[in-house]
Amino acid sequence: MTDGQRIPVIIDCDTGVDDALALLFAVRHPALDVRAITCVAGNTDVDGVVRNTLTVLEVAGAGDIPVARGAERPLIEPVRTARHVHGQDGMGDLGLPAPTRVAVDVDAVTLLRREILASPRPVTLIPMAPLTNIALLLRTHPEVTRNIERIVFMGGAVATGNATPVAEFNVWHDPEAAAVLLTAGVPITMYGLDVFKKVLVPAGEVQRLRSSAEPSLRMAGDLLAHRDPATSGDPTPTGGLGDAGAVCAVVDPKGLTTERLPVEVVLAPGPARGQTIVDRRPRLGESEIHEGMREQPLVDVALGVDVERYVQLWLKTLD
Ligand code: BDR
Ligand code: CA
């Protein structure tokens, strides 16, 4: 595959156990040209995210991909990490050595703007973290949308949340930023919790990776083993690919079933803050009939995923 045929992508992450699984896949897949990676506070503090991201690139033996530090807190909310899920270091406490690579000396918004506008082909943005960097980018440099092909983001949920009963972590962490993203005016795919939770690597494959002699495969296995074994109710844990599924969706969109639907983020304080309301009604309701249509962005919402297809794609790419 020549450079001109590869899909130029930029990843915004909060590495993060499953962000790491996504990065390993992205830097290995021959159809992707990872032009930059930007970091934001989320699963852990932003400095931890930068360190973890550089560690993953180093273990993966990735090329020289620029990594930039971004927002250290959401637009309005305080920082609320997910260390109870991702470990004290944000990446499973695997005891990995500190990276020798360093981040570039420009901030994430500057790097995003520079790499998006410099790309010879429109870029696909893959945010898999709270959307603070992306909102700041869109508000500071709105001209970037002319060279964005689409945004495939991990966030939101049609049905059940995780941070709250109805809100997914990335959107809940910075709801205002998510609302800005949804109105970016470019095609958007929402890879939400509904599909995110389904893509599980079988226990046998996790064990195989863990016992590999190749460091990046071993790390992938250890990260997968760290993924939420308790909730599967299975004594032999399977590992969720999490954010990596969103990258699979860029490489192989046919593995995803989507529907173009209106999506709105709840910004009001209270128990629904951070919820993504996805309107799946087949016809107008009384609210629209009596009060008129409200302007709502249309988003390609992932409603189904071919689990086997994405698991095999991810495994084959890593192997
Ligand atoms: C999202 O939150 C983070 O914990 C994961 O990395 C993923 O991006 C899931 O809600
Ligand atoms: Ca993430």
Q: Residue for token digits 């503090």?
A: 45
The per-residue pLDDT for range 74-119, each reduced to its tens digit, is 999 999 888 888 788 889 888 898 999 999 999 999 999 999 999 9
Residue nearest atom 7 in ligand 1 by C-alpha distance: 243
Q: Which residues pair with 36 in a beta bridge?
A: 10
- Distance, in Å, from the CA atom of 49 to the CA atom of 4, rounded to the nearest integer, reads 31
Domains recognised in the chain with CATH numbers: 7-284+295-318 (3.90.245.10)
E strand segments, 66-199: 67-69, 123-127, 148-154, 188-191
In degrees rounded to 5, what are phi and psi of residue 174? -145, 75
User: Would the CB of 128 count as within 6 Å of ligand 1?
Assistant: yes
The H or E element that residue 298 is part of is strand 298-305
Check if 170 has its Cβ closer than 6 Å to any atom of ligand 1.
Answer: yes
pTM for this predicted structure:
0.95
Among 86, 190, 66, 14, smallest CA distance to 22 is for 14
Helix (H, G, I), strand (E, B) or coil at 176: helix
Tens digits of per-residue pLDDT, 261-275?
999 999 999 999 999
From the list 162, 206, 151, the residue with the least C-alpha distance to 21 is: 206
Cα of 16 vs centre of ligand 2, distance in Å, is 6
pLDDT tens by residue, 297-314: 999 999 999 999 999 999
